[in-house]
Amino acid sequence: MAPSGTVADPPPSSATDSFNSGASEENDIRPFFVLHKASSGSLQGKSTGTVRSKRTIESPTPKIAKKSEVESAEEEDGQFLSNRRLKIFETVWSKIEKTIENVLRDSNSKIFNGIYDWIRESFESIRSYGALSLSEAVRSYPVLTQASSKQLFTALVLTRNLEMVDDLLTFEELNLHLKSQGCHVAKLSSMDFSAKNGVGGCLRGLLRQFVMPTLDVADVTTLASWYRENENHKNPVVIIVDDTERCCGSVLSDLILILSEWAVKVPIFLIMGVSTAHDAPRKILSVNALQRLCASRFTLSSPAERMDAVLEAVFLKPCSGFTVSHKVALFMRSYFLCQDGTLTSFVRTLKIACLQHFSSEPLSIMLEHFCQDRSNQLTGEGNGLLTESTMKHAFDLPSVTRNKITRSTCELLPQFLLDLQRMPNPWSIVVLCIYEAGKFDKLRLLDIFCETLDPEARYLKYFSPSAIVNCQSQVSGRSVIRQVLRKLRDLSPSQWRSLLKRWENLSAEFSEINDKVMELHPLKRSVEAAGQRQGLPNSPKKHASRSHTKLEKELSAMADKVAAVIEFMLREYMKPVESVPFHEILCFKNVDKLQSALLGDPRGRIQSDLLEAHNILHCICCSQRGTTLLPSMHDTSILYTLAQEHADVINLHDWYQSFKTILVSRSSKTKQNSKTCSKSKKRKDRCEEPEAPAEALIQARFCRAVMELQIAGLIRLPSKRRPDFVQRVAFGS
């Protein structure tokens, strides 16, 4: 970046001149320019759409222009709908976001309180050294010699997460939590601990956050005198460093050394986020600094645990109504497990899914009602949502036509919608019940959720008698439900007790399931009795005594019975959302769209653009003749296809010659043909193949194509060592 100097330069462009004729070329070489300013209409919240710039793609046919005129009448309607959609999207998403925030806050609150208690206790112990007079407290001497008075209290917060991105919010919350308890908190990140700015940089950062934002000195005495001001010294000072591993070790060590010298005068507590292992500080800090640390350890919940909590709150508890299909859930799961592993990315995927849902499904605006209180009944006609066109759309939905629901049953629509609204309740109870059973085997809710969403209900096959017999011998295929069923046989009586209790709580509001759970109680009692007789309630598989066989029998009967209850729940209530009519209103299904918006694949796609250009351009001339290279093809496309035949380096001379052969030989052939055959003449007209181009033109085209490949990053230009070769950079996608 160019230095800006002390004189503020005028921006090289202003808004007015960007519309002048000929300005566009000038704008191309300006570092930046204002294309246009907001139209005045937008200031009042209306769109006028009158500003037209020069830079528009001209429509090749008048047809399209005409069409757009017709469309303009509909534009206003569209504008209204899109505003409405946006508003509802915001409502829905903010509801989901808030739910997630609350879940995360809850999952962290225990640790946060622990940290605060630790700070309070340590603060009191420092204060017990005795009060310092003002003059003592703000100067750097006399140097305290006791080793204990130079200890800097440090909390290592283990994030159990290699990616920092999930923990940004956690530390932000910690910051707020400690502030609300009265602590003075400053947050530093690895950017403040750069070798370039040294320890002065991070001291400045600290002072800016504590003393005043415009301060530009780096002096601990300023901090000390600030701490003595007013009532400041009644509360501890906390410094949060969220990504310790990324900090410059020497700078952090220096800061620790400086602060520890002042530890009694300014009681500072350092909170370091550690993502790798608890010995990470040993790897980055100097020995001197390490000796000054008096460290405690706190551990946050793992991303997978948080993920399950989020999943439960968003999809299984009443939240926004928005949900995803089996395929989308599988994609999100594999993206989380195989590619990213951060909760942040999962949430972002969800947001993109939600956005895509709103931008592709007109009926998605009905989610507004799901989002509101349950007491608010869905009456589509009442609020004018169900216009003729939306009704038509609603009855054209695949789930509706599949279930043979026609317009004649139109009056049933509100009933269907009510069902839809109620539908997830028993469904989520079943999923949570299975999750509870799976917890004994440390199964993830994410896996259970994905499997139970299956619209074809393939999980039911595990309940056929043969599957139950074989369930222990068959290992192939990973099914969570089968794992749950298998695990049931290993549960101890006490585990049974806790499982039934949790099931009871979960199904409390749904009597049909609750009754079935209640039926298990007599069995539970007999299992418990058998366990007590044996005297070892927690270890079901020990001695082969008589009471033990009795217990085993009871346990096995219990497992069979519970498996039957699970089967009943799955069969009766596990209606996956995708099998319900009108589910398209709240369920996002287009996994390809989601994938392409979330994961751009420039490496693969740009190469396939070049190698299969005719598929994108849809031109008649290039796609006809299979894989042979034609002069009518895009130059860069030809050149890149030729490059595939070369090794990791390409001889420029050879490359040029083959490029030239393609351009010249074909053209001349066509020329010869056109003299003799009228058919090929026609083709010539259609393809508009140029005559053999001049040498200079071929060379210029070659240069241009090489340049474009260079811009795409597919080749590297000749080096001084190898002046006649370019290097291939990408090999396949």
Residues from 694 through 713 that contact other proteins (CB under 8 A): 695-697, 699-704, 706-708, 710-713
CB of 334 to other proteins, least distance (A): 4
- Cβ nearer to other proteins, comparing 246 with 489: 246
- Cβ nearer to other proteins, comparing 261 with 454: 454
CA atoms within 13 A on the CB side of 551: 27
Secondary structure class of 323 (helix, strand, coil): strand
**Residue that the structure tokens 């350890």 belong to:** 297
- Cβ nearer to other proteins, comparing 37 with 571: 37
- Cβ nearer to other proteins, comparing 264 with 598: 598
Among 385, 564, 606, 664, interactor with other proteins by CB under 8 A = 606
- Cβ nearer to other proteins, comparing 392 with 722: 722
- Cβ nearer to other proteins, comparing 195 with 616: 616
8 counts as binding other proteins under rule CB under 8 A: yes
* Residues numbered 436-465 forming contacts with other proteins, rule: CB under 8 A: none
* Residues numbered 291-350 forming contacts with other proteins, rule: CB under 8 A: 331, 334, 338, 340, 342, 344-345, 348
Secondary structure class of 293 (helix, strand, coil): strand
Nearest to 352 by CA among 328, 384, 386: 328
Secondary structure class of 155 (helix, strand, coil): strand
CB of 437 to other proteins, least distance (A): 23
32 counts as binding other proteins under rule CB under 8 A: yes
Q: Are 242 and 189 in contact (CB under 8 A)?
A: yes
Q: Are 452 and 573 in contact (CB under 8 A)?
A: no
55 counts as binding other proteins under rule CB under 8 A: yes
- How would you label 223-243 residue by residue, b for 16+ Cβ within 10 Å and e otherwise? bbbbbbeeeebebbbbbbbbb
Q: Which residues contact 558 (CB under 8 A, 6 or more apart)?
A: 496, 520, 523, 524, 527
Q: State the alpha helices, DSSP H only, in 138-295.
A: 167-180, 198-210, 220-228, 249-261, 280-284, 287-292
Q: Which residues contact 651 (CB under 8 A, 6 or more apart)?
A: 724, 725
Among 282, 603, 682, 686, interactor with other proteins by CB under 8 A = 603
Q: Are 513 and 429 in contact (CB under 8 A)?
A: yes
Q: d(Cα 670, Cα 648) in Å, to the nearest integer? A: 34
CB of 476 to other proteins, least distance (A): 12
Among 39, 302, 474, 719, interactor with other proteins by CB under 8 A = 39
Site string for other proteins, 58-97 (x = CB under 8 A): xxx---x-------------x---x--xx--xx--x----
Secondary structure class of 588 (helix, strand, coil): strand
CB of 6 to other proteins, least distance (A): 8
How many residues bind other proteins, per CB under 8 A? 129
CB of 18 to other proteins, least distance (A): 9
Element at 518 (helix H, strand E): helix 511-519
230 counts as binding other proteins under rule CB under 8 A: no
Q: d(Cα 662, Cα 633) in Å, to the nearest integer? A: 10
State both tokens at 377: 């009944």
CB of 100 to other proteins, least distance (A): 14
Q: Applying CB under 8 A, which part among 388-396, 421-429, 450-458, 690-698 lies near other proteins?
A: 690-698
Give me the torsion for CA of 71, 77, 82, 83, rounded to 10°.
140
CB of 683 to other proteins, least distance (A): 16
CB of 32 to other proteins, least distance (A): 4
CB of 722 to other proteins, least distance (A): 10
37 counts as binding other proteins under rule CB under 8 A: yes
Contacts 24+ apart (CB under 8 A), 346-352: 346/307, 346/310, 347/97, 347/100, 347/310, 348/598, 349/594, 349/598, 350/96, 350/314, 350/324, 351/93, 351/96, 352/594, 352/597, 352/598
Site string for other proteins, 152-171 (x = CB under 8 A): -----------xxx--x---
Q: Applying CB under 8 A, which part among 111-119, 248-256, 354-362, 455-463 lies near other proteins?
A: 354-362
- Cβ nearer to other proteins, comparing 3 with 535: 3
Among 108, 161, 607, 670, interactor with other proteins by CB under 8 A = 607
580 counts as binding other proteins under rule CB under 8 A: no
CB of 544 to other proteins, least distance (A): 40
* Residues numbered 470-499 forming contacts with other proteins, rule: CB under 8 A: 478
Among 21, 56, 128, 375, interactor with other proteins by CB under 8 A = 56
Among 21, 22, 31, 676, interactor with other proteins by CB under 8 A = 31
* Residues numbered 640-669 forming contacts with other proteins, rule: CB under 8 A: 646-649, 651-654, 656-657
398 counts as binding other proteins under rule CB under 8 A: no
- Cβ nearer to other proteins, comparing 522 with 690: 690
Q: Which residues contact 61 (CB under 8 A, 6 or more apart)?
A: none
Secondary structure class of 457 (helix, strand, coil): coil
* Residues numbered 514-573 forming contacts with other proteins, rule: CB under 8 A: none
- How would you label 538-558 residue by residue, b for 16+ Cβ within 10 Å and e otherwise? eebeeeeeeebebbbebbeeb
**Residue that the structure tokens 């070369």 belong to:** 646
Q: How far is CA 183 from the centre of its chain?
A: 33
Among 9, 69, 77, 279, interactor with other proteins by CB under 8 A = 9
Q: Applying CB under 8 A, which part among 2-10, 144-152, 268-276, 573-581 lies near other proteins?
A: 2-10
Q: Which residues contact 385 (CB under 8 A, 6 or more apart)?
A: 365, 366
382 counts as binding other proteins under rule CB under 8 A: no
- Cβ nearer to other proteins, comparing 37 with 542: 37
Q: Are 241 and 275 in contact (CB under 8 A)?
A: no
Among 16, 17, 20, 48, interactor with other proteins by CB under 8 A = 48
